[in-house]
Amino acid sequence: MSMINQFLWVIFPYICLAVFIVGHLYRYRTDQFNWTAKSSEFIEKKKLKLGSLMFHLGIIPVIGGHVAGLAIPQSWMEAMGISNHMYHIGAVYIGSIFGILTLGGMILLTSRRFTIKNVRQLSSASDMIVNVLLLFIVFMGMYSTLVTNAVQPEFNYRENISIWFRDLFILRPDAALMANVPLSFKIHMLAGFGIFALWPFTRLVHVWSVPLNYAGRRYILYRKHRKYES
């Protein structure tokens, strides 16, 4: 059993993170031309717009919530005056609102990809896998937040999962911290790490190409024409 735990909570996360980094370097060097989310808007627009908007509006605060809950130690939050009770209320209510938005978006996007024939035919196997896996991860996250937390209110993930998570990044991994974590959280996290390993080989690479400078750039760009330069 301890061998399995060591694999799941130490070796597997490190493999996923290593593949995430090396995979991106490999993809960037060998396949820049296909570095895209490959739009299917010309086939179907309505569901795509709503689903994509819901998913992206939801996932950004959800990521913020993960940073607050996993990266920031409970004691630091308490020192800032945020008690465990306050944190929990915030995490469950705010987390659930944005989680439901994310889940609704993923349901729309996945049903669109599988039920509209032309979108399905345009989709690669990796598009399908990313869709289903994201839907599954978000569903298990919501299940843990709403159902498991309600059934086991004494469970506090900041006393085990969060410490285990931070220990990975300071290279002092400790699988024992995960021993008493409820199954739904465990499944959520394994699938969550899994998507990092798939990331560089899928449409998810588009995340690194969001044109952030678009928001602040000048409306009209003037460029010099080399030919007339003196």
Q: How far is the CB of 88 from ligand HEM (least distance, A)?
A: 7
Q: Which is nearer to ligand HEM, 119 or 142 (CB)?
A: 142
Q: Which is nearer to ligand HEM, 51 or 65 (CB)?
A: 65
Q: How far is the CB of 205 from ligand HEM (least distance, A)?
A: 15
Q: How far is the CB of 221 from ligand HEM (least distance, A)?
A: 35
- Residue 34's contacts (CB-CB under 8 Å, 6 or more residues apart) are none
Q: Which is nearer to ligand HEM, 43 or 77 (CB)?
A: 77
Q: How far is the CB of 213 from ligand HEM (least distance, A)?
A: 26
Binding site for ligand HEM (CB under 6 A): 62, 65-66, 69-70, 91-92, 95, 99, 102, 134, 137-138, 141-142, 144-145, 149, 157, 161, 165, 185, 188-189, 192-193, 195
Q: Which two tokens stand for residue 105?
A: 């978006």
